[in-house]
A = this chain, B = another copy of it.
Amino acid sequence: MKLDDIDKRILRALQRDGRMANNDLAREVGLSPSPCLRRVKLLEEAGVIDRYVAMLNPAKIGKGQTFFTRIWLKAQDEDTIEHFAAEVAKLPEVLECYLMLGDCDAMVRVVAANIDAYRRFQSEHLSRIKGVQNVKTDVPSQTIKQTSEMPL
């Protein structure tokens, strides 16, 4: 799908505020409300806009700390990987999980209240998944930037 300049402005605005009123959005991108809404609907149908979500403040719900954990599996066959993926998907504390090329086999992003809570999670859940050989956790001390806004 080709995106013209107005589409990009719409996407930038909705990435900042996904609940912006269509009238305000229209004014911001230099259109009247109806063609603006039509474009938004087209972007949604085309799948460019995947979904709208509320972003919570992790600190306010006791999930203030992020952890990145690299994982090495005992084997790289499909069964081992499938099983690992299925188990990880069940853990709500794991917000992201990627299979990796190169050094490690997988990487997960986990949220927890603090390091102690994370350590408990790691030993009680992550390390107990069948096929997991070794894990190494990278701990952020400070967040410099954290956004979901894609460059356009």
A residues contacting B by CB (< 8 A) are 1, 3, 11, 14-19, 46-58, 60-61, 63, 66, 68, 70, 85, 88-89, 92-104, 106-107, 111, 138-152
Known: A53-B15, A148-B148, A151-B93. A139 touches B101 (CB 8 A): yes
Known: A61-B3, A139-B101, A139-B102. A148 touches B107 (CB 8 A): no
Known: A53-B17, A101-B139. A88 touches B145 (CB 8 A): yes
Specify which of A14, A16, A60 lies most central, judged by the most chain B CB atoms within 10 Å of its CB: A60
Give the residue of B102, B143, B151 whose beta carbon is less than 8 angstroms from that of A98: B143
A151 lies within 8 A of B92 (CB): yes
Q: How many copies does the complex hold?
A: 2
Give the residue of B15, B99, B102, B111 whose beta carbon is less than 8 angstroms from that of A150: B111
Shortest distance from the beta carbon of A84 to any chain B beta carbon, whole Å: 8
Shortest distance from the beta carbon of A51 to any chain B beta carbon, whole Å: 5
- When distances are taken between beta carbons in the complex, the residues of chain B under 8 Å from A61 are 3, 11, 48, 150, 152
Give the residue of B15, B48, B60, B88 whose beta carbon is less than 8 angstroms from that of A57: B48
Known: A96-B147, A100-B138. A55 touches B51 (CB 8 A): yes
- When distances are taken between beta carbons in the complex, the residues of chain B under 8 Å from A147 are 95-96
CB-CB nearest in chain B for A10: B54
